[in-house]
Amino acid sequence: MNSASDEPLEIERKFLIASDAWRAQCTGPGRRIAQGYLCTSAEKSVRVRLSGDDGTLTVKGSRTGITRLEFQYSIPAAHAVRLLELCEMPPIDKTRHIVHHAGMKWEIDIFHGENEGLLVAEVELEREDQPLEIPSWAGAEVSDDPRYYNSSLSRHPFRKW
């Protein structure tokens, strides 16, 4: 969430991974995430996520550029398990790694299951025009390609493209 404003905004850029060089900068072993959607449309999505003992419920608004409203709430892990059972599609299965580069926190998602083979790097910004040093291991930017939105990957998995 954008901390520079009182508005609950997510300003995010997304890149494919061009090489494994990010692994040298990785902090820790990564966290497995199960993620499902109770609702997805062009105007909004409601996501449930479970990672270890951490559950979250997230409501996102429609995108304007790389910005959208985002409301995120911690929920008990047991509630997340039950809500994942109500999701429209099987949950997305991924492992998230954290990499720090040039003062920015990058999240590297390695997808499993129906999205196996997809590796994506995301970075959250304070504002859309914020300067960003893109690491050498980052490939093509896919911020504006809806196929790479997690909500789209739940309906149209990478392996079926």
Q: Which residues are catalytic?
A: 37
Q: Which helix (H) or strand (E) holds 81?
A: helix 77-85
CA gap 102, 56 in Å, rounded:
29
CB 91 within 8 A of CB 103: no
Chain centroid to Cα 10, Å, comes to 11
Three-state DSSP state, 51: strand
Which residues have CB under 8 Å from 143's CB, separation 6+? 12, 13, 14, 15, 66
